Amino acid sequence: MGPKIGPKIGVVTFPGSLDDQDALRAIRLCGGEPVSLWHANDTLDDVEAVILPGGFSYGDYLRCGAISRFAPVMAEVIKAAEAGMPTLGICNGFQILCEAHLLPGALIRNDVRVFVCKDQDLQVESVDTTWTSDFTRGQMINLVLKNGEGGYVADEETLRRLEDQGRVIFRYVNGNPNGSFHDIAGICNERGNVVGLMPHPEHNVDSLTGPTQDGRLFFSSVFDFLSAKV
Amino acid sequence: MPKPEILDPQGKAVTGALGRLGFAGMSVRQGKRFEIELDGEITEELLAEVRRAAETLLANTVIETFNVRVEAEPESPEEEPDAEPSEQPDEAEPADEGELASQAG
């Protein structure tokens, strides 16, 4: 027998995805088995969790994520996510999750009107999700942030519900880079299995290419969740 | 169109540029316009279908509003060269038949 292989985590590649390879690599580095999923397929290949990566899927035509949300694979992702599969949307993936109504609200153009690319300080606000259980509440972390349309907006009632239910997962600190309401950088669904955030955990998994390795905790969290489930 | 309470950075940029060019007192919000050609006569059912398409894909109703209106189609290009209006009030009444414009922001 070979070494124990970690859980199978799928990463969807849409036309225009950029960070799918980094996400696959991050899964491997953190001990999981990365599975590449193609947007035009209607199967999730028995993965136990799925990541919608960053990039400019379908050229961001119409609105970011608006067309990807109807890709064939998304019907399966939505079904699985609603059934409780851990689902993580990073940047463009977050936009897709909002367009798919798996998460409330929307992402609009940065209020600063320029593409923002920086190492962003964040505060962990909630650890009750399948992707953030290895963090501690109040922990200060730093992740790569790079987007043009990262301004999180939602109506007052939605914001109140997110806050009351502890579904704001990450908040920008030391300055709001894009005009997001309530400094929101990431949120989750009611069940805590679907998480979306604008910063990129997959870019912060080794010291060679990232200033921190804070992204690793996303992967260890979901591995913990999946191994506890069995 | 982006809902009034939603920040419109594009409109803000355009507003700024107009001001710099000397166009005073103009505040811009920027939306989108889709021109949809339909096969056959335009019925209420067909219009409802277009509204459904707008709500499903063309607009994100979390942040945008849209309206659908029917625009008169020229009988032939020679007779009515200016049949496509460049500007119309937001809530134009649907005409009988012709080109349809769905506006989203």
* B35 shares its domain with B78: yes
* B45 shares its domain with B8: no
Residue pair A165/A133 in contact (Cβ under 8 Å)? The answer is no
What is the arithmetic mean of pLDDT over A135-152? 97
Is the pLDDT at B99 greater than 80, yes or no? no
* B43 shares its domain with B69: yes
Chain A hits for B5, CB-CB cut-off 8 Å, are 155
CA distance linking residue B33 with residue B47, whole number of Å: 16
Chain B nearest-CA distance from A102, in A, is: 13
Residue pair B95/B27 in contact (Cβ under 8 Å)? The answer is no
* B37 shares its domain with B82: yes
> Is the CB of B57 less than 8 angstroms away from the CB of A99?
no
Closest CA to A50 of B48, A151, A71: A71
* B53 shares its domain with B89: yes
> Is the CB of B60 less than 8 angstroms away from the CB of A154?
no
* B69 shares its domain with B79: yes
Of A66, A98, A111, the CB nearest to B57: A66
Q: Is A124 left (phi over 0), alpha (psi -120 to 50) or beta?
A: beta
What is the arithmetic mean of pLDDT over A112-130? 96
**Residue B59: pLDDT band by 50, 70, 90 thresholds?**
very high
What is the arithmetic mean of pLDDT over A21-35? 97
* B2 shares its domain with B52: no
Is the pLDDT at A32 greater than 60, yes or no? yes
The parent domain of residue B46 ranges over 31-104
* Percent of chain A clearing pLDDT 70 (strictly above): 98
Number of domains in chain B: 2
* B35 shares its domain with B25: no
Kindly report which listed range (A45-59, A77-91, B2-16, B75-89) carries the lowest average pLDDT score.
Answer: B75-89
CA distance linking residue A184 with residue A113, whole number of Å: 18
* B36 shares its domain with B24: no
What is the arithmetic mean of pLDDT over A9-14? 98
Closest residue in chain B to residue A111, using alpha carbons only: B9
What pLDDT is attached to residue B85? 45
Of A67, A106, A111, the CB nearest to B62: A106
Contacts across the A-B interface (CB distance below 8 Å) = 36
A74, A94, A108, best to mutate vs chain B, most B CBs in 10 Å: A108
Is the pLDDT at B82 greater than 50, yes or no? no
A74, A101, A109, best to mutate vs chain B, most B CBs in 10 Å: A109
What pLDDT is attached to residue A147? 96
Which listed CATH number (3.40.50.880, 1.10.760.10, 3.40.50.620, 2.40.50.140) goes with A8-229? Answer: 3.40.50.880
